[in-house]
Amino acid sequence: MSVPYETAAYEPAESPESPEEHLERLLGRALNSFELPDEVIWQLDCALAHDSSLHSAYHSAGRHRETYRHTWLLADGSAVTLWELVHNPTPGGAPESEVYADEEELQTATARLGMPPETPEFELPALSRLWAIPEPRHVFASDGSADHARRLLRRAENPDRPGAKTAALLATATAHEITQAFGRPGRAGRAGLSYALYEHAFLLPDGGEVSLWEVEHTATPDGRHMCEVYMSEDAARDAMERRAARRA
């Protein structure tokens, strides 16, 4: 279940991150990143997409501990996970971040903190059972949503991007949410094409929802960054497949 980071160890990115940028930020804040095996870092150099989720948390008397699962999707359809431990050594103190390639190493590091073990008695309510609770389709936030839609459509470079009718509809948006989409890479992965796919979901005044699908990639003749926007996930993935076919 993806959640916003809530500790000072995190500085939210101003725009959606690429897999490489997300890894760089994670390694930059982790105090022990130099201990990660080289082969793990090499694998992540070719990641197509990434996602992060809260795994467990403990908060009491000025002390806190959160563990996060960071997962990268590779070109062959497999995934690599890194585990991040965020905690404050002293009550009310600044948080520190550590990263581990193995969940057992994470558990060993957690045990050294001198906090209660990860049990329902001490954890946030029912956190270990959240996987069994259906997540809402979208969790919207009211934060300049109409302006976000305008900027998204303005930077789209594909000729078949959504037109004036969609722009006028989204100018009334009251809230929005951005999530990263996953899936098997298909031809795009086989061609070594790295890209990121995001869903921008907008809430309308009548309670309706509209989603735009953004593809970010560097599959351009000069290798520059390019943004494309489509009205459906299938259209976005088909566009990447066509680019991969031209490069094959």
Per-residue pLDDT of 161-215, as tens digits, reads: 999 999 999 999 999 988 877 644 444 444 455 677 889 999 999 888 999 999 8
Based on the domain organization, do 169 and 111 belong to the same domain? no
Evaluate if residue 136 carries a pLDDT over 70: no
Contact 194, 19 (CB under 8 A): yes
Contact 168, 150 (CB under 8 A): no
Based on the domain organization, do 123 and 180 belong to the same domain? no
Average pLDDT, the chain: 77
What lies within 8 Å, CB to CB, of 88 at 6+ separation is 62, 63, 64, 94, 95, 96
Q: Which of 57, 62, 68 is nearest to 93 (CA)?
A: 62
Based on the domain organization, do 42 and 75 belong to the same domain? yes
The domain in which residue 126 lies consists of 19-132
What lies within 8 Å, CB to CB, of 26 at 6+ separation is 33, 70, 82, 84, 99
Evaluate if residue 14 carries a pLDDT over 80: no
pLDDT number for residue 75: 76
Report if residue 176 sits inside a domain: yes
Based on the domain organization, do 56 and 26 belong to the same domain? yes
Based on the domain organization, do 73 and 101 belong to the same domain? yes
Evaluate if residue 41 carries a pLDDT over 50: yes
pLDDT number for residue 229: 96
For 220, the token pair is 């351009």
In which band, very low, low, confident or very high, does the pLDDT at 124 lie, cut at 50, 70 and 90? Answer: very low
In which band, very low, low, confident or very high, does the pLDDT at 123 lie, cut at 50, 70 and 90? Answer: very low
The CA angle 230-136-122, to the nearest 5 degrees, is 135
Out of 80, 111, 132, pick the residue that ends a domain.
Answer: 132
The pairing of beta strand 226-230 with beta strand 195-203: unpaired
Out of 105, 132, 159, pick the residue that ends a domain.
Answer: 132
pLDDT tens digit sequence for 88-122: 877 777 888 999 998 889 888 888 877 655 543 33
Strand, helix or coil at 145?
helix
Main-chain dihedrals φ then ψ at residue 71, nearest 5 degrees: -125, 135
Contact 125, 157 (CB under 8 A): no
Based on the domain organization, do 184 and 228 belong to the same domain? yes
Q: What is the pTM of this model?
A: 0.47
Based on the domain organization, do 33 and 127 belong to the same domain? yes
User: If you average pLDDT over residues 60-67, what whole number do you get?
Assistant: 76
Based on the domain organization, do 54 and 128 belong to the same domain? yes
Out of 72, 105, 132, pick the residue that ends a domain.
Answer: 132
More confident residue, 175 or 124: 175
Based on the domain organization, do 52 and 116 belong to the same domain? yes
